[in-house]
Amino acid sequence: MTTLRELAGHLGLSPATVSRALNGFPEVREKTRARVIAAAQELNYRPNSTAKKLATGKSGMVGIIFRAARNLLVDPHFVEYLAGLSMGLAERDMDLILRHAPPGAQLSTYERLIASGAIDGLIVSAPEVDDRRIAMLTERDFPFVVHGRVGEDLPYGYYDIDNHGAFTRATELLVALGHRRIAFLNGASGLAFAIQREAAFLTVLAANGIHVPDRFVSHSDMSEDAGYQRAAEWLAARDALPPTAFLCSSTLLALGVYRAAAEARLEVGRDISIIAHDDVLPHLRAENYWPPLTVTRVPIRDAGFALADMIYKRIGGADPKTLQKTADVDLIVRGSTGAAPATGGQSW
């Protein structure tokens, strides 16, 4: 592999000038910088990470801290998001450091990683209302961006999807099909996306004079087993009419509802309807369900790519308010939704 000294000799420049050119120092003329970059690519020069940190004060590392209790490393949503994030950072010659935080140690884990000097910025995931991590990072003026958002007119960079709009449209579709007993399987309570989705669901129902008992709104991890257990319980209940439609915060939850419906000998799309949010997980294609699943859809991998670009720019000094995006969500209607059955117009 070509060394810095060899690259400098090839160009007839000093190693210090070559290093400054590669690391963006403003005193190097653009013509010289372009020449150095072209030669580095031609000779396959890769800077030594330790030397680069000494020259720029930057580690080239971005951190992400996950809650160990949630076992995110086996969660396909998190793995797909992580794939986009790591690929996006790699395109910018940056690397990702993962850390887990034991229950109750989120803030101290963030503070310890910042103090180590090992990272230039942080990706904050799964924001909560009054999130202490965001408050601490803002107070320290440490570069960070957030996957998700809480509130409006925010001072930090974020990538989010239009959760409220997506679940408004999904609920309106079920109401338009005549459903009045609609159950909602949501993500964990307290998380920003779950709050936004539930607010949309309840707002549409209230506008149409439809009441949903609290017991038919659940919060859990977004897994097939959680979807199955709750749907099976609701469909078998003897003390209340069963739901005729299910709105799910993930295709994994919907997969569990499909299984519960099959056991109850109900035909999806005729006896019950199902809509889910689709993060486009590569091994769980909604169009391959039978019948194909109606979804609100946006790839979660897009979030990873977008946040990689945002944190790169934030570390470079960009105004966080210029690093804010809320992605539109598609509604794709397929065979899992149909008109409410004869008793479906009857409310709880």
Residues 129-158: tens digit of each pLDDT: 889 999 999 999 999 999 999 888 999 999
Total number of domains constituting the chain: 3
Residues 176 and 294 in one domain: yes
Q: Is residue 227 part of a domain?
A: yes
Task: Check whether residue 241 and residue 172 sit in a common domain.
Answer: yes
- Are 186 and 309 within one domain? no
The reported pLDDT for the residue numbered 207 is 98
| One domain, residues 178 and 193 | yes
346, part of any domain:
no
d(CA 232, CA 230): 6
Q: What is the CATH number of the domain that holds 270?
A: 3.40.50.2300
Residue-wise pLDDT tens digits, 331-346: 999 999 999 998 767 8
Residues 209 and 265 in one domain: yes
211 and 284 within one domain:
yes
Write out the residue range of the structural domain in which residue 49 sits. Answer: 4-56
Q: HSE-up of 46 (CA within 13 Å, CB side)?
A: 4
Determine the Cα–Cα distance for residues 345 and 348; give it in Å rounded to an integer: 10
Distance of CA 218 to CAs 202, 204, 207, 221, 230, Å?
Answer: 13, 18, 21, 10, 8
- Residue pLDDT, tens place only, 253-276: 999 999 999 999 999 999 999 999
Looking at residue 208, its pLDDT comes to 97
Structure tokens given for 88: 């996006």
User: C-alpha distances in angstroms, 264 versus 182, 203, 234, 267?
Assistant: 17, 30, 11, 9
Asked if 169 and 276 sit in the same domain, the reply is yes
pLDDT tier at 58 (50, 70, 90 boundaries)? confident
Query: If you average pLDDT over every residue of the chain, what do you get?
Result: 91
Do the domain assignments include residue 343? no
Q: Where are the beta strands (DSSP E) in 44-156?
A: 61-67, 95-101, 121-125, 144-147
Answer yes or no: do 115 and 185 share one domain.
no
Q: Which of 257, 277, 298 represents a domain boundary (last residue)?
A: 298
Contact of 166 with 194, CB cutoff 8 Å = no
15, 35, 56: which is the final residue of a domain?
A: 56
pLDDT band at 319 (very low <50, low <70, confident <90, very high): very high
Burial label for 330, CB within 10 Å (0-12, 13-18, 19+), is exposed
Does the residue 73 lie in any domain?
Answer: yes
Q: Are residues 219 and 179 in the same domain?
A: yes
207 found inside a domain: yes
Angle at 131 between CA 127 and CA 132, to 5 degrees: 135
Give pLDDT, residue 138. 96
Regarding whether 290 and 181 lie in a shared domain, the answer is yes
pLDDT at 1 over 90: no
Rounded to a whole number of angstroms, the distance between the first and last alpha carbons of the chain is 71
For residue 50, give the CATH number of its domain: 1.10.260.40
Contact at 8 Å (CB) between 112 and 124?
no
- On the question of pLDDT at 51 being above 60, the answer is no
Q: Judge if 75 and 26 occupy the same domain.
A: no
Query: Is there a domain that residue 314 lies in?
Result: yes
pTM of the model: 0.84
SS3 62: strand
145 and 35, same domain (yes or no): no
Residue 70 domain-assigned (yes or no): yes
- Output the pLDDT for position 43: 86
179-204: pLDDT as tens digits:
999 999 999 999 999 999 999 999 99
> What percentage of the chain exceeds 90 in pLDDT?
71
Per the domain annotation, does 339 fall within a domain?
Answer: no
What pLDDT score was predicted for residue 178?
A: 97
